[in-house]
Chains A and B, each alone.
Chain A
Amino acid sequence: MNIDTKTEEFHHVHAAHCENGVTTALLRHHGLDFMTEPLAFGMGSGLFYIQIPFLTINNGPAISFRTMPGAIFKRTCRSLGVEVTRNKFSDPVKAQLFLDKKIKEGAPVGCQVGVFHLSYFPKEYRFHFNAHNLIVYGQEDNRYLISDPIMEEVTSLSAEELSKVRFAQGPLAPKGHIYFPEKVGVITEDVIRKGIVKGIKRNVRDMIGIPGNFAGVNGIRYTSNNIRKWRDKLGLKKAGLYLGQIVRMQEEIGTGGGGFRFLYGAFLEQAAAYLQDDRLIGLSEEFTKSGDMWRASAIQMAGVYKGRLTEQQSFDEIADRLLEIRSVEKEAFLKLSKLNLGK
C-alpha cells in the first residue's frame, strides 16, 4: 500500500486489490490511520477459492480466488463497529443525485463499476467484469474525481462515463451500488485485535469448513481433477484457453490469486504484531510458500497456452501441483484453527 497522491482532503491509496484499497482509503479518511490493505483484507476474510461447477464465464471455467464482492468492506467495517450505508438504484438519475449529494457533503464514496466501459482502462482489460471498485471523492469542471485503487495516480470521469460504468449490465451488475462508512466510533487496540481474530476464524471456516468439494481448499482439488480431463475432453486449444483463464483470474488485478496469498502473509505478519504472537509469523511463511507455488503453476500453465507443452503429462503435472498447493493451504489453515487465539 502506498499513500502518496494527495488531493485537498482525500488521500489516494494505491493497493493490490480494488476492494481492499477502497476499504482502506475510506476508513483512513474517517480517521482510522492504522488501517492498511493487508489488515482490511484479513479482517474481511478475503482469501478464498471456489470453482462453480458447470458454469463458464467468458467461455472459461468460473473460478474465484476471493470472497464475494462487497464482503471485505462489509466485514471489516462490521468488526470495527463502523456503521455503513449501502444503496443500489434502478434509476441512473436518482443514483447520480444521491452521489452528488454525498459529494457536496464532502464525503468520498465507494462505487461498484463494470470495466467494459471504463474509459481510462486499456482496451485489453475491458471485458464484462462488473465487480471493480473505485472511490469518487469530488467534482471539478463537471468531471468526477476518481481514486481507482489499482492506479498509482488519481483520475476523473465525466458524468456520462461514470453513469455508464455504474449501470453496467451482465453478471454481478452493479445497479449503481454506492457504499461508505456512516459513523465511526472510538476504536481501541482491543477492538482491532478482536477484529483480527474474527477475520482469521472466518477465513478458516471459508477455506476448510465448507462442506462439498468445490469451495475452499477442496475447490483447488476440484479444479485439479478438472484439469486432468481437459486435454481429452476439450482438445488442446480450448484446454489452453481454460488454463489461460485460470492464470488471468489468479494473477490479474482485481482478482489476484497468487498475489492474495502474499497479501494474506502480510496480514498475518501484521496480526502477529497486534496479537504479540510470533506463531503467526511462521504461518505467514506458509502463505508466502503457497503464493510462490501458485506463481510457479502459472508459469507451467503458460507453457500450455503458448503451445510449448502439449502432452497429457503436462496437464497431470499442473494438476499435481494444484494438489500440493491444496495441502499447503489446508495445513496452514488447520494450524491457524488450532492456535487458540481466544475471543
Chain B
Amino acid sequence: MKKEDLPQEPGALSRLTRELCYVKNEDGKYETALSKGWDIKKEALDSAWVEVNDRVEEARKAVANGEKSPVYYFMELNLMDISVLSGYTGFFSFFINRHLKPSVFKTLSDKKLEKYAQAFDITVGELKNFKG
C-alpha cells in the first residue's frame, strides 16, 4: 500500500487513537504512517454489532416468553457464551445449561446468583427481577 492510499476514515477506534501502518513512500521504501480508520473495517465491526444486538433482543424475548432464564439474557448482553461464563462463574457448562431454564433458575440459591451477578456486573436483584 502506498502512503497516499492509506485511508483516513474515522471509526470507533479513532476516539482513542490513530493506528500505525506500514506503507510505501515515494522512494518505494517502507515507512510508518498513521491512519484514522477505514470504512471497510468499520462496516465489518458495525455488522458484528447488529448481530450482537439481534441476539440480545432474541434473548430478551425468550425471557419474556418464559422460555429462558435471565442468565441467558445477561450472557448474550455481555457477549459471552457458555464457556466464557463458565470461566467467570466457576460453574461447569453442564450446570450453566440447566440454569438457563426458568424452572431451574427459580431454585438457585443467592450464593449462586451472586456469582452470576458478579460475572455480569449487576446486582442479584437486577438478575432475579429481570422479566424481559
Interface residues in chain A, defined as those with a beta carbon under 8 Å from any beta carbon in chain B: 1-2, 14-16, 38, 58-59, 116, 120-125, 127-128, 150-153, 169-171, 173, 240-241, 244-245, 247-248, 251-253, 259, 262-263, 265-266, 269, 284, 288, 291-292, 295, 298-299, 301-302, 305-306
Contacts and interface: CB of A to CB of B under 8 A. Distances in A.
A112 B38 CA distance: 27
Contact of A251 (B24, B40, B78, B88): B40
Interface in B15-61: 15-24, 29-30, 32, 34, 38, 40-41, 43-45, 47-49, 51
Contacts of B23: 262
A240 B20 contact: no
Given A2-B32, A169-B88, A299 B40 contact: yes
Interface of B: 1, 12-13, 15-24, 29-30, 32, 34, 38, 40-41, 43-45, 47-49, 51, 78-80, 83-84, 86-88
A240 B13 CA distance: 23
Q: When A and B form their complex, which 5 residue pairs have the shortest distance between CB atoms, in order from nearest?
A: A169-B87, A170-B84, A266-B30, A124-B12, A247-B44
Contacts of B22: 16, 38, 259, 262-263, 265-266
B79 A127 contact: yes
A247 B48 CA distance: 11
B48 A262 contact: no
Nearest to A240: B47
B40 A298 contact: yes
Kindly name the residue among A2, A127, A252 whose own CB sees the greatest number of chain B CB atoms within 10 A. A252
Nearest to A14: B20
Nearest to B16: A122
